[in-house]
């Protein structure tokens, strides 16, 4: 089934925007900490953990340490979501779509 010319152009534009968005999301880098900086997590836009820094003082209490690591990872993931949404909103804003559609 062949789409009308205008629809075909819109689909092509949407695919190009999706590819650009994926590139921009891949460049996102965030850092989050917990326990007053005792645990720090670095994460990329695909939510891959790039690094974890743990203050040696935090290692004495394993339960507290695991809570701080979990909190830092969750905060980093939330920051990635926020930045990715901002990038997506900026790109989709030019398309004239109704707010809240994506």
Q: Is residue 94 part of a domain?
A: no
Mean model confidence pLDDT for the chain: 87
Q: Is residue 9 part of a domain?
A: no
pLDDT of 11: 84
> Considering the chain, what percentage of its residues have pLDDT values greater than 90?
56
Q: How many domains does the chain have?
A: 1
Place of tokens 């994926």: 22
Q: Is residue 14 part of a domain?
A: no
pLDDT of 3: 63
In terms of residue numbers, what domain contains 41?
27-80
pLDDT of 63: 96
* CATH number of 64's domain: 3.30.1310.10
| pLDDT tens digit sequence for 48-83 | 999 999 999 998 999 999 999 999 999 999 999 999
Q: Is residue 85 part of a domain?
A: no
Prediction pTM value: 0.74
The residues near 68 (Cβ < 8 Å, ≥ 6 apart) are: 34, 35, 38, 39, 58
Q: Distance of alpha carbon 51 from its chain centroid, rounded? A: 16
pLDDT of 2: 65
Cα torsion 51, 55, 59, 62: sign: negative
The CA distance from 94 to 90, in Å, is: 7
Q: Is residue 42 part of a domain?
A: yes
């Amino acid at each position: 089934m062949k789409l009308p010319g205008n629809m075909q152009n819109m689909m092509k534009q949407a695919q190009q925007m999706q590819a650009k968005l994926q590139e921009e999301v891949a460049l996102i880098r965030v850092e989050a900490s917990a326990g007053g900086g005792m645990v720090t997590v670095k994460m990329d836009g695909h939510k891959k953990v790039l690094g974890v820094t743990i203050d040696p003082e935090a290692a004495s209490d394993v339960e507290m340490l695991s809570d701080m690591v979990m909190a830092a990872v969750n905060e980093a993931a939330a920051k990635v979501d926020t930045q990715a949404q901002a990038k997506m909103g900026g790109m989709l804003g030019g398309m004239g779509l109704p707010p809240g559609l994506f």
